[in-house]
Amino acid sequence: MEKLSTQPYKGTRDFYPEEMKLRNWFFGKIRETLELAAYEEYNGPMLESLELYAAKSGDELAREQTYNFTDRGGRDLAIRPEMTPSVARMVAAKIGELNYPLKWFSIPNMYRYERPQRGRLREFWQLNVDIFGCDTYEADLDVIQSAIAVLRAYGADETMFRVHINNRRFFNDVIAAICGTDAEGSKKVSKVVDRKNKIPRETYVKDMTELGLSEEQIDKIDALYTMNVKDATAFCPDSVGSQELLSLFDALAATGLDKYCMFDFGIIRGLDYYTGTVFEVFDEAPENNRAMFGGGRYDNLVGLFAKNAKISGVGYGMGDVTLENFLVTHKLVPDVLRSGKKVLVARFDDVAIEKYTAIVDQLRAAGIVTSLYTGIKKFGKQIDYAVKGNYSHVVIMGGSELEKGIAKIKNLETREEIEVAVSDIASSLA
Amino acid sequence: MEKLSTQPYKGTRDFYPEEMKLRNWFFGKIRETLELAAYEEYNGPMLESLELYAAKSGDELAREQTYNFTDRGGRDLAIRPEMTPSVARMVAAKIGELNYPLKWFSIPNMYRYERPQRGRLREFWQLNVDIFGCDTYEADLDVIQSAIAVLRAYGADETMFRVHINNRRFFNDVIAAICGTDAEGSKKVSKVVDRKNKIPRETYVKDMTELGLSEEQIDKIDALYTMNVKDATAFCPDSVGSQELLSLFDALAATGLDKYCMFDFGIIRGLDYYTGTVFEVFDEAPENNRAMFGGGRYDNLVGLFAKNAKISGVGYGMGDVTLENFLVTHKLVPDVLRSGKKVLVARFDDVAIEKYTAIVDQLRAAGIVTSLYTGIKKFGKQIDYAVKGNYSHVVIMGGSELEKGIAKIKNLETREEIEVAVSDIASSLA
């Protein structure tokens, strides 16, 4: 028979114990940090109705970008490619019972059908952090604080990342103020500004000029990209967006977080979804200087599910692959494999197994990770096993030690060996 | 527009923060217990080649029982319905590098395409615990110990569950010994014995008689079901299976675990897969007395992937739904929602936000779960929010308290309120 391939499916990963330990460390830091800030974890199913994504992105795009299929009941299903539709469904289902503002997070695994490349895999995990049901700047502040807190929990500092912040209400108002356009006209200008970095300069200027903008107006918009928040908001001081930006930056300064943050007029994040604060977190490493993840405020989370109900949200999504790249680039990944005590109790065939299991019980009761060597092999093989398995110590008790009521403890790092009474093994390792 | 349904897909569950907290507690106990015993966690992708399951169960059954589809590259994929094929693939891929015996566990989410019913859902999580690469009874002992340790970690005792143990080698040998049959003949008898509890007594006796068994032989086999391990193994003392059973039960007695275990000739677990020790863990609750989960020893884990290589394994799989039912039945689920301190800092509009964020920082630095009320609402609303959100304390500092440099701390359980200096808030809550 033809043997099967041992490779995981394209764009997915196997997590052997070493990688899994690292993941558990990554995710543990996230949980610890967010729970300390009273965010609560949730999760939904991997499979959802395809219509959840079709309603948001159109049927064609939803089918193209997701793994989808029809079940035997004729229902179109997709493996979730993102979490927002699921959480929107969950909030809509209990809209009258939930305790707003909700501070929620999730670290779901999800699938996107795309060509695997650096930083983008088909199976990935994504931290989703959101506050639902509070539409003032305090919620924006809280989620931005949480993103900074997560990165700081890994040991990242202000030389390594920066949160670039803008506001979509301000964006609309400042364009109207500079160009003197009505809503319709501002929208047209916004579309050109949104494309600014993706098109040649001449095309940009030509498009802006065709919309009736003067050279001076184009210069003024250019200048916004390097301005601080005070100068930028001075163009439209009465704009709700300006006030939100100023309140947010004031609060960031008051809490000492301003060193991690900057105003950046270049952050737009698509024109159709976000409605207030928007932000992107940049990796400051010269070789990797780009947006790692981002988020912002959006209105009407539950619109697809509930009539006559509006819940706003503000949040962000951070992919595990991006996060890992960041931590590796900045050397923030500790040697989790070799942290802490891990004891192997070696086994000799002239000693009854219960003598060893008693030692194992003693060590585990003291909270020390312990394994009895499984089976009987030559002592050298057991030591090899301990070294390769990242054990820190080996407890050695053969027939001659048993007679004297002692055991040897070998420290595998220092290679030192000490003798202790059997009853003192745990305390001498504590 | 027609509004979308807020229901999760049939047979799947939404995990709101209350349910998620419980799951994290469930899984946390498992991780804690198994890691203390030096088991290491791994994981693989949700999507695998359909052929992994087809090779084991046949193409038709694999297609019927899994969610499967063809990707745009023409590859047949399935959402994993179990973990063994994935872990076999992973071991085969690094067969020469791994450090045997491997003590591995995983808590993957998986999907089975079946009619949802009590204890069986379409999406579920399953703890998988295995030792690979040790083919003596010590590995069987270690995995059985781990199952007992997990249940004990939840507070379960010997009145609540029992591990029923048999051995497939012993099973074959004792049938041969009683019936005087050759391998071929024993196999035929085994098939009837395997069906014993599923067919009427008369059919059983008729089938056995047709295979040439006497009434006395049938009685002897009947008697095995109520025998202890010493008496049962006396029929074939030289059988490797008998010796494995006796060594295992001796070691269980020596480690004080025999009160959780019993010999049970009725445990067979299908005829084609298991090759040595087999066991099932029963719920002892009278209203729910049934096998919750089980496992055993199997040979040639990697046969589908690697030629000329054999790795044996012993392990079990425990579903999350079954475990939850067990813990609820025996009242072993603590009130995890109300455990620990959780502080809401209330917000008044006559005090600048940085006065509050300083308090939040002080509390979080002390490791206390803390949230600043997001936005500004009437004090009563904020208290309602704290009560509904399972907060234990509210820190109250309005303009008048600020002037005096104090804050009030309200204990939501006792309704007591104390006044403390702002700098002492964390220490007075510690």
A224-282 pLDDT, tens digit each: 999 999 999 999 999 999 999 999 999 999 999 999 999 999 999 876 789 999 999 99
> Where are any strands of DSSP class E within B99-208?
102-106, 109-111, 123-132, 161-167
Q: Check residue B1 and give its pLDDT.
A: 56
Across the interface, of B14, B38, B304, the residue whose CB is closest to A342 is B38
Question: In degrees rounded to 5, what are phi and psi of residue A104?
Answer: -120, 145
Interface mutation target, options A1, A2, A3, A4, chain B, most CBs of B under 10 Å = A4
Q: Which residues contact A222 (CB under 8 A, 6 or more apart)?
A: none
How far apart are the C-alpha atoms of A59 and A63, rounded to whole Å? 6
Smallest CA–CA distance from A360 into chain B, residue:
B37
Q: Which residues contact A91 (CB under 8 A, 6 or more apart)?
A: A98, A102, A132, A301, A302, A311
How far apart are the C-alpha atoms of A67 and A81, rounded to whole Å? 8
Smallest CA–CA distance from B100 into chain A, residue:
A385
Q: List beta partners, residue A18.
A: none
Q: Determine contact: B90 vs chain A, CB below 8 A.
A: yes
- Bond before B45 cis per omega within 30 degrees: no
How far apart are the C-alpha atoms of B293 and B316, rounded to whole Å? 7
A275-333 pLDDT, tens digit each: 999 999 999 998 888 999 999 999 888 888 988 888 999 999 999 999 999 999 999 99
Q: List beta partners, residue A163.
A: A261, A281
Q: Check residue B228 and give its pLDDT.
A: 96
Task: Give the three-class secondary structure for B146.
Answer: helix
Which of these, B56, B111, B375, B305, lies nearest to A132 by C-alpha position?
B375
Q: Check residue B287 and give its pLDDT.
A: 86
Q: How far does the CA of residue B297 sit from the closest CA of chain A (Å)?
A: 15
- Phi/psi region, residue B258 (left: phi>0; alpha: psi -120 to 50; beta: rest), is alpha
Q: List beta partners, residue A352.
A: none
A254 alpha carbon, distance to own chain's centre: 26
Is A93 in Cβ contact with B7 (below 8 Å)? yes
How far apart are the C-alpha atoms of B275 and B297, rounded to whole Å? 6
Contact A62, A54 (CB under 8 A): yes
**Cβ-Cβ contacts under 8 Å, A51 against chain B:** 4
Task: Give the three-class secondary structure for A68.
Answer: strand
Q: Which residues contact B6 (CB under 8 A, 6 or more apart)?
A: A89, A90, A92, A93, A305, A306
Contact B50, B114 (CB under 8 A): no
Q: Determine contact: B308 vs chain A, CB below 8 A.
A: no
Across the interface, of A90, A111, A342, the residue whose CB is closest to B14 is A90
Q: How far does the CA of residue A225 sit from the closest CA of chain B (Å)?
A: 29
Residue with tokens 């009505």: A182
Domain B340-429 sits in which CATH superfamily?
A: Anticodon-binding domain (3.40.50.800)
Please state which CATH class domain A17-329 belongs to. alpha beta
Contact A101, A314 (CB under 8 A): no
Is B45 in Cβ contact with A357 (below 8 Å)? no
Which of these, B109, B110, B113, lies nearest to B66 by C-alpha position?
B113
- Number of A:B CB contacts under 8 A? 257
Range list of H helices, A342-415: 353-365, 379-388, 399-404
Contact B141, B250 (CB under 8 A): no
Q: Which of residues 328-387 of A touch B (CB under 8 A)?
A: 342, 344, 352-354, 357-358, 361, 364, 367-372, 374-376, 385
**Cβ-Cβ contacts under 8 Å, A3 against chain B:** 304-307
> Domains of chain A: which residue ranges?
17-329, 340-429
Q: Determine contact: B101 vs chain A, CB below 8 A.
A: yes
Q: List beta partners, residue B109.
A: B125
Strands A76-79 and A68-70: antiparallel
Q: Determine contact: A308 vs chain B, CB below 8 A.
A: no
- Domains A17-329 and A340-429 alike in fold: no
Element (H, E) at B60: helix B59-65
Class of residue A138 by CB neighbours under 10 A (exposed 0-12, middle 13-18, buried 19+): buried
Smallest CA–CA distance from B365 into chain A, residue:
A36
Smallest CA–CA distance from A366 into chain B, residue:
B36
How far apart are the C-alpha atoms of A249 and A242, rounded to whole Å? 11
Tens digit of each residue's pLDDT, chain B (430 residues): 578 999 999 999 999 999 999 999 999 999 999 999 999 999 999 999 999 999 888 889 899 999 999 999 999 999 999 999 999 999 999 999 999 999 999 999 999 998 877 778 999 999 999 999 999 999 999 999 999 999 999 999 999 999 999 999 999 999 999 999 988 888 899 899 989 988 999 999 999 999 999 999 999 999 999 999 999 999 999 999 999 999 999 999 999 999 999 999 999 987 678 999 999 999 999 888 899 999 999 988 888 898 888 899 999 999 999 999 999 999 999 887 677 899 999 999 999 999 999 999 999 999 999 999 998 899 999 999 999 999 999 999 999 999 999 999 999 999 999 999 999 999 999 8
Mean pLDDT of A208-219: 94
Q: Determine contact: B320 vs chain A, CB below 8 A.
A: no
Q: Check residue A376 and give its pLDDT.
A: 87
Interface mutation target, options B140, B356, B373, B374, chain A, most CBs of A under 10 Å = B374
How far apart are the C-alpha atoms of B374 and B372, rounded to whole Å? 6
Element (H, E) at A106: strand A102-106
> What is the architecture of the domain spanning B17-45+80-329?
2-Layer Sandwich (3.30)
Looking at residue A98, the DSSP 8-state letter turns out to be: S
Is A354 in Cβ contact with B254 (below 8 Å)? yes
